[in-house]
Amino acid sequence: MSEGAVAQREVALVDLVDRLLGGGVVIAGEITLAVADVDLVHVSLRALVSSVDTAQRQGALPRMGEAL
Amino acid sequence: MIELVAITDGTLAPEAPVRAVPFDGLAVLCAPAAEGEADAETLWRREALLEALMEQGALLPVRYGTVVADEAAAVEAVSEHRDAFARALARVRGAVELSVRAVGPADAAPAAARVHATLAVLARDAVRLGGDEQLNGAYLVERGAVDDFVAAVGRLQREHRGLSILCTGPWPPYSFTEAG
């Protein structure tokens, strides 16, 4: 995978994690997987989001639509 | 233990080990519960599974990590929401979710609001999700209108130089699973 494709995938991963862990049908009281582990992933990915702007100004990441 | 993957209208035929368990005209797609920590590859595999299933018909993803004892427990967990699921499936049928994030300085909030309003007009439905960004929007877009939507994102980026706008998708309708 090219460097650009990896960057796009990482950016899209933020949206994926937000959606898989924060979206979808919620069935109360039935979430029993190791969510704590996943939450750690989530936190680090949120940090990535706040760095996207800087990365884009450096030309390291795709701009609008390119992650599509 | 099995994991609930998605709610569908009963016409989807998943490949093993995923099974479609029928309930009252709909079906809940179940998979053997994963063991160990969920890493990025695990999450991408789930996404790929949902995307492949979406090619067959409408579905509502279930929150990742929703595990029950067996298929009987799965049916029990979803049956009471049957009518809400049916309405939500009608809402998302033929559409996909697109994500648009915009980051920028604090005074860019009005611009982000304009971006959201412009994109919402092009979508069947739209919602602003929480987050640190000026905009973290989810848009339910007709499959045939995705190209137009992305083109609009491009125009908005050119109009709002103070924002960095990033669009990803198409996603399963993770943010539109309510009856609406």
Alpha carbons within 13 A on the beta-carbon side of A48: 18
Residues B27 and B75 in one domain: yes
Q: Two tokens at B127?
A: 């919602």
pTM of the model: 0.84
Q: Could you read off the pLDDT of B101-138 as tens digits, one per residue?
A: 998 888 999 999 999 999 999 999 999 998 888 999 99
**B98: domain CATH number?**
3.30.70.260
Considering only residues A34 and B147, tell me which one the structure prediction assigns the higher pLDDT.
B147
- Domain endpoint, select from B48, B63, B91: B91
Task: Say yes or no: A40 contacts chain B, CB-CB below 8 A.
Answer: no
Residues B34 and B55 in one domain: yes
Residues B6 and B86 in one domain: yes
CB contact under 8 A, B165 and A64: yes
How many domains does chain B divide into?
A: 2
Secondary structure string (H, E, C) spanning chain B: CEEEEEEECCCCCCCCCCEEEEECCEEEEEEECCCCCCCHHHHHHHHHHHHHHHCCCCEEEECCCEEECCHHHHHHHHHCCHHHHHHHHHHHCCEEEEEEEEECCHHHHHHHHHHHHHHHHCCCEEEECCCCCCEEEEEEEEHHHHHHHHHHHHHHHHHCCCCEEEEEEEECCCCCCCCC
Cβ atoms of residues B59 and B78 within 8 Å = no
Residues B142 and B165 in one domain: yes
How many angstroms separate the CA atoms of B163 and B149, rounded? 18
Question: Which residue range(s) make up the domain with B72?
Answer: 2-91
Q: Could you read off the pLDDT of A11-62 as tens digits, one per residue?
A: 677 788 888 888 899 885 455 555 444 444 444 444 444 444 444 444 444 4
- Domain endpoint, select from B58, B91, B124: B91
Residues B84 and B104 in one domain: no
Residues B43 and B60 in one domain: yes
Residues B107 and B50 in one domain: no
How many angstroms separate the CA atoms of B153 and A54, rounded? 20
Residues B99 and B154 in one domain: yes
CB contact under 8 A, A50 and B7: no
Residues B65 and B101 in one domain: no
How many angstroms separate the CA atoms of A10 and B6, rounded? 24
- Domain endpoint, select from B91, B119, B148: B91
Q: Could you read off the pLDDT of B49-99 as tens digits, one per residue?
A: 999 999 999 999 998 888 888 999 999 999 999 999 999 999 999 999 999
Residues B80 and B157 in one domain: no
pLDDT, position B130: 82
Residues B147 and B168 in one domain: yes
All residues of chain A having their beta carbon less than 8 Å from the beta carbon of residue B164 are 52-53, 56-57, 63
CB contact under 8 A, B67 and A12: no
Task: Say yes or no: B68 contacts chain A, CB-CB below 8 A.
Answer: yes
Residues B85 and B110 in one domain: no
CB contact under 8 A, B64 and A33: yes
